[in-house]
Amino acid sequence: MNKTQCKMARAALGWRAQDLADAANVHRITVARFEAGDDIADDSAKALKGALEAQGVKFGRKAARSSVSVPDGIKIEI
């Protein structure tokens, strides 16, 4: 999962940074740092990804394109 995928997944779930932080048991600043492209501990990155995957989010990367998919039924507000 890269920073863009993290933002996309949060948006698809309708989660704030604090929501992801709570689900991953990390500080909100950790989420902000990751999404800004700063280095974070490997354990924290795994926790963020795991929290999103627990909601059914799937991450992909093919031909220099990042993708995020969420299960049907997730409401996306734009």
| 50 close to 17: Cβ distance less than 8 angstroms | no
53 lies in a domain?
Answer: yes
pLDDT of residue 76: 47
| pLDDT for position 53 | 94
CATH of the domain at 15: 1.10.260.40
Q: What pLDDT score was predicted for residue 5?
A: 93
With both helix axes pointing from N to C terminus, report the angle between 17-24 and 42-53 in degrees, rounded to the nearest 10.
100
Confirm if 24 and 44 have CB atoms less than 8 A apart.
yes
pLDDT along the chain (78 residues), means of 10: 93 94 98 97 97 93 83 56
For the chain, what is the domain count? 1
Q: Which range marks the domain in which residue 37 is found?
A: 3-69
Asked if the structure places residue 77 within a domain, the reply is no
Q: Please report how many Cα atoms fall inside a 13 Å half-sphere around the Cα of residue 32, on the Cβ side.
A: 4
Q: Is 78 a domain residue?
A: no
Asked if 33 and 40 count as a contact pair (C-beta separation under 8 A), the reply is: yes
